[in-house]
Amino acid sequence: MAVEAGVAIASGVAAHSISLVAFGLDSVIELASAGVLIWRLSNELRFGREVSEKAEWIARRIASGLLFALVAYVVTAAGWSLWRGEGGTFSWPGLMVAVMAMPIMLVLARRKLALARELGSRALRADAAGSLACLWLSFVVVIGLVAQLAVGAWWIDAMTSLALVWFLVREGREAWEGGEDD
């Protein structure tokens, strides 16, 4: 995830690509979410299930807040790009990292979901939802980059990044609400 974040953000900055930067920031959020989950699970081991319920709630809210912050960035950056009439350019490293992320995120999300069911952890399920969002984000980024390469229109990156908002909001709401059991 750290490599994915680094490559995506660096490629996005170099290409002035909102969607690549958002994809990289989502990877940073995934890393932060993993850290929060480690904290949550260690609370349960130390203090028992009752105390971990509060940690569970906090973990879900943090994951959700980070996703909503990313939505704010994407909407603001895309709006600014469209307003100015300037967009990102194609990036080979960005395309490669997004393509490689798809199968990795699929396997990771499936394993997290299985473990979340086993542990009964809504926070881990929310984290798995973030991995699924990353899978979809990478797919949308690939489509946008291929379209950018084929067409070269300045507005493609901003429109692609706005397509990411739907996934981010959906996953942020699921994390906030804690899934279907709450």
Looking at residue 105, its pLDDT comes to 92
pLDDT tens-digit series, residues 43-77:
777 877 776 777 778 777 887 888 899 899 999 99
Among all chains, which residue has been given the structure tokens 């798809």? 102
Looking at residue 63, its pLDDT comes to 78
**Contacts of residue 140, Cβ cutoff 8 Å, sequence gap at least 6:** 19, 160, 163, 164, 167
User: Where are the chain's structural domains?
Assistant: 2-177
Q: How many CB atoms lie within 10 A of CB 147?
A: 16
Contact 22, 74 (CB under 8 A): yes
Does position 182 have pLDDT exceeding 60, yes or no? Answer: no
pLDDT tens-digit series, residues 76-133:
999 999 999 988 889 999 999 999 999 999 999 999 999 989 988 777 777 787 788 7
Does position 172 have pLDDT exceeding 90, yes or no? Answer: no
pLDDT tens-digit series, residues 110-120:
999 999 899 88
Q: How many CB atoms lie within 10 A of CB 81?
A: 22
Q: Whole-model pTM? A: 0.84
Dihedral sign, CA of 140, 103, 105, 107?
Answer: positive
Task: Look at residues 5, 143, 149, 16 and name the one whose alpha carbon lies nearest to residue 77.
Answer: 16
pLDDT tens-digit series, residues 142-171:
999 999 999 988 899 999 989 889 888 888
Looking at residue 181, its pLDDT comes to 45
